[in-house]
Amino acid sequence: MTTTPAVYDKSSSFVEIRRTHPEHASVHARIEALGERMESVGATDYRSAIVREACQELLAPDAARFALRDFVIDEISRLEDEELERYLFYRFRYEVFPVEHRLDDFPPLLQIEPTSICNFRCVFCYQTDTAYTNPKNGHMGLMSLELFKRVVDEAEGRCEAVTLASRGEPTLHKQFSEMVDYLAGKFLAIKINTNASMLDEAKCHAILGAGVQTLVFSADAASEPLYSRLRVRGDLEQVLGNVRLFHDIREKHYPHSRTITRVSGVKFSDEQDLDEMEGFWRDLVDQVALVKYNPWENTYEQPVNQIDSPCSEYWRRAFVLWDGTMNPCDTDYKATLTPGNVKDGSVSAIWRGERYETLRRLHLARKRRGVEPCSRCTVV
Ligand code: SF4
């Protein structure tokens, strides 16, 4: 029997985000100035054409395709004028390409997985699936620094957004700081997701020194026992201490840091209270948010549904897992959809390769019910 659950709209994962400080007027004026400059020089190449399209859209009075949300304006506020062009190139492709099913030779966002291993067993996470965590099944491992550098080298100049996160806890990797160092100066939108349990001084300095744009601390509650019921094996006091450590190092050693810190939880239980979370974390981080829950913990056991809209992940981002496996998403946490391995070909070649294009065609033809596990997934 098929069911029709609510779709998970990836165009915004937030249930709510608080404490952004958008400077609408000044950002608008800067986009206006950039738009005028782009008009006067014309679109001389692909990149300029995209930025020009982005400016035109943002400055149009009835623009519907590309509107900057508050947290994006917050990000832009921290950029220099000469970086705005690069940022809009990324953001337009990230937001508009998945809606219009446009593609070029590189994913708008690349997610790199330093490790698939995690020290937590959060109730809504694939780490609770022992078929995934059992080392005998081949899903557990750590990316070599050599492979990491190869992927980063390919992405530099072709992609502005790199996230260190996927199925595992990135700070568990012994070479985490070296990886972060290697990203420095190469991308505008570097993001790291961490459960904050393993943060120490060296990692804090690496993150701040590399100019990471967004550091997300994953925490879903402001008190016990709710925190530990959701973040199984987590210790709220320890996490609080590490978030404070990061805050203090930023204040003391990096007073002009552009890094935005966010505590972000998965909205899983009616007991979670964003007001309480905001009050608890407000002195230590810039933003507090809750994101939508997706049943990551048992993707493959969900019933087949009747959703037939294409999944935006095929146009928005690509994952490179610890062993080089590329995948369109982490909802398919066993990477059964994999279109290839970067040890056998480049990210770019796989992104536009036959397997990826076949999956896209099936989704566009509204035949995702014939693709496992897309048939059981609600992401659009
Ligand atoms: S399983 Fe399929 S439909 Fe779900 S997020 Fe991944 S690619 Fe999209």
Which whole-number Å values give the CA distances from 127 to 10, 197, 266, 340, in the listed order?
22, 16, 15, 23
Quick one: pLDDT at residue 40?
A: 85
Only one residue has tokens 């904050």, namely 196
Spell out where 124-172 has E strands: 161-164
Å from CA of 174 to ligand 1 middle: 31
For the chain, the residue count is 380
- pLDDT of 261 > 60? The answer is yes
| 373 cis-preceded (ω within 30 degrees of 0) | yes
Å from CA of 200 to ligand 1 middle: 35
Quick one: pLDDT at residue 363?
A: 98
326 bridge partner residues: 320, 340
DSSP class per residue in 82-130: HHHHHHHHHHHHHHHHHHHT---SS-SEEEE-SBS--S---TTSGGG-H
- Whether 332 is in the pocket of ligand 1, judged by its Cβ within 6 Å, is yes
- pLDDT of 17 > 90? The answer is yes
Question: How does pLDDT run across 83-94, given as a tens digit for each residue?
Answer: 999 999 999 999
Let me know: does 168 contact 118? Beta carbons within 8 Å: yes
Measuring from atom 6 of ligand 1, which residue has the nearest CA? Answer: 329
Measuring from atom 2 of ligand 1, which residue has the nearest CA? Answer: 374
- Per-residue pLDDT, averaged over 61-86, amounts to 90
| 255 cis-preceded (ω within 30 degrees of 0) | no
Quick one: pLDDT at residue 4?
A: 62
Only one residue has tokens 């952004």, namely 20
Which whole-number Å values give the CA distances from 223 to 121, 193, 206, 235, 320, in the listed order?
18, 21, 29, 10, 35
- Between CA 132 and CA 137 the distance in angstroms is 7
Quick one: pLDDT at residue 373?
A: 98
104-140 as b/e, with b when 16 or more CB fall inside 10 Å? Answer: eebbbbbbbbbbbbbebebebbbbbbeebbeeeeebb
- Whether 192 is in the pocket of ligand 1, judged by its Cβ within 6 Å, is no
Question: How does pLDDT run across 86-140, given as a tens digit for each residue?
Answer: 999 999 999 999 999 999 999 999 999 999 999 999 999 999 999 999 999 999 9
- Per-residue pLDDT, averaged over 246-253, amounts to 98
Quick one: pLDDT at residue 298?
A: 92
Question: How does pLDDT run across 282-295, given as a tens digit for each residue?
Answer: 999 999 999 999 99
Say how far residue 80 (Cα) sits from the centre of its chain.
Answer: 23
- Whether 373 is in the pocket of ligand 1, judged by its Cβ within 6 Å, is yes
Only one residue has tokens 């593609």, namely 103
- pLDDT of 62 > 90? The answer is no
Å from CA of 207 to ligand 1 middle: 30
> Predicted confidence band at 217 (pLDDT cuts at 50, 70, 90)?
very high
Of the two residues 342 and 68, the one the predictor is more confident about is: 342
The answer for 150, left when phi > 0, alpha when psi is -120 to 50, beta otherwise, is alpha
Å from CA of 23 to ligand 1 middle: 35
Continuous segment of H or E residues that includes residue 254: none
If we measure between CA atoms, which residue out of 238, 254, 136 comes closest to residue 195? 238
- Whether 311 is in the pocket of ligand 1, judged by its Cβ within 6 Å, is yes
> Predicted confidence band at 3 (pLDDT cuts at 50, 70, 90)?
low
> Predicted confidence band at 215 (pLDDT cuts at 50, 70, 90)?
very high
> Predicted confidence band at 67 (pLDDT cuts at 50, 70, 90)?
confident
Query: 125-133: long-range contacts at Cβ-Cβ below 8 A with a sequence spacing of 24 or more?
Result: 125/296, 125/297, 126/167, 126/296, 126/297, 126/299, 126/330, 126/333, 127/167, 128/232, 128/297, 129/297, 129/298, 129/333, 131/334, 132/167, 132/333, 132/334
- Whether 216 is in the pocket of ligand 1, judged by its Cβ within 6 Å, is no
- pLDDT of 326 > 70? The answer is yes
- Per-residue pLDDT, averaged over 213-236, amounts to 96
18 bridge partner residues: 288
Ligand 1 atom having least distance to the Cα of 368: 3
The phi and psi torsions of 60 (rounded to 5 degrees) equal -70, 140
- Whether 331 is in the pocket of ligand 1, judged by its Cβ within 6 Å, is yes
Q: Across the chain, what does the average pLDDT equal?
A: 95
- pLDDT of 68 > 70? The answer is yes
- pLDDT of 43 > 80? The answer is no
- Whether 377 is in the pocket of ligand 1, judged by its Cβ within 6 Å, is yes
Spell out where 219-358 has E strands: 260-266, 287-291, 317-320, 325-327, 340-341
Residue 109 CB contacts under 8 Å (≥ 6 apart), including other chains: 90, 94, 159, 161, 162, 163, 189, 316, 317, 318
Going by their DSSP bridges, the two strands 161-164 and 109-112 should be labelled as parallel
Ligand 1 atom having least distance to the Cα of 363: 3
| Ligand 1 mutation target, pool 11, 315, 374, 375, most atoms within 8 A of CB | 374
Span of 37-46, 162-171, 365-374 with lowest mean pLDDT:
37-46
- Per-residue pLDDT, averaged over 198-207, amounts to 98
> Predicted confidence band at 213 (pLDDT cuts at 50, 70, 90)?
very high
